Amino acid sequence: MLFQNLTRVAAFERVHMRYVRSREDWSIVIAIGEAAERRQPIGYKQLSLLDVASPSTLTRKLKQLIGSNIIRRVIQADDGRMVAYTLTKTTTEGFRRYERLLRSLRWKRENDD
């Protein structure tokens, strides 16, 4: 059952999450999504402090994710100097589908031989 479920997850990721290519991409997108859930803006400095990637990799990955319409760069209205990152609506919807898939899986517990 474990590997059957992992096969379903991998198939979903190949089809619906193609834009999240690397561990760094996953870490960045998840950090931005978590900040959005807390309704707190997250900028480059905060992402850097989370150690989601080295500074040069973070800069490159943010540009790629913006270019692929995975995240958006938003200038904060109250402070025109601060740039925050948010997920696009399409990305958020993709992760909601991913969550539904994960919730639907029945994971066999170790005691249930």
Determine, yes or no, domain membership for 109. Answer: no
Three-state DSSP class for residue 15 = helix
Q: Distance between CA atoms of 87 and 3, rounded to whole angstroms? A: 30
The domain spanning residue 47 has which CATH number? 1.10.10.10
Determine, yes or no, domain membership for 98. Answer: yes
Q: How many domains does the chain have?
A: 1
pLDDT of residue 83: 92
Tokens 């900040």 sit at which residue?
A: 35
pLDDT in tens, the chain (113 residues): 889 999 999 999 999 888 888 999 999 999 999 999 999 999 999 999 999 999 999 999 999 999 999 999 999 777 777 899 999 999 999 999 999 999 999 876 666 55
pLDDT of residue 76: 77
Could you list the residue range(s) of the whole structural domain that residue 9 is in?
Answer: 2-104
Determine, yes or no, domain membership for 113. Answer: no
pTM for this structure?
0.84
pLDDT of residue 113: 52
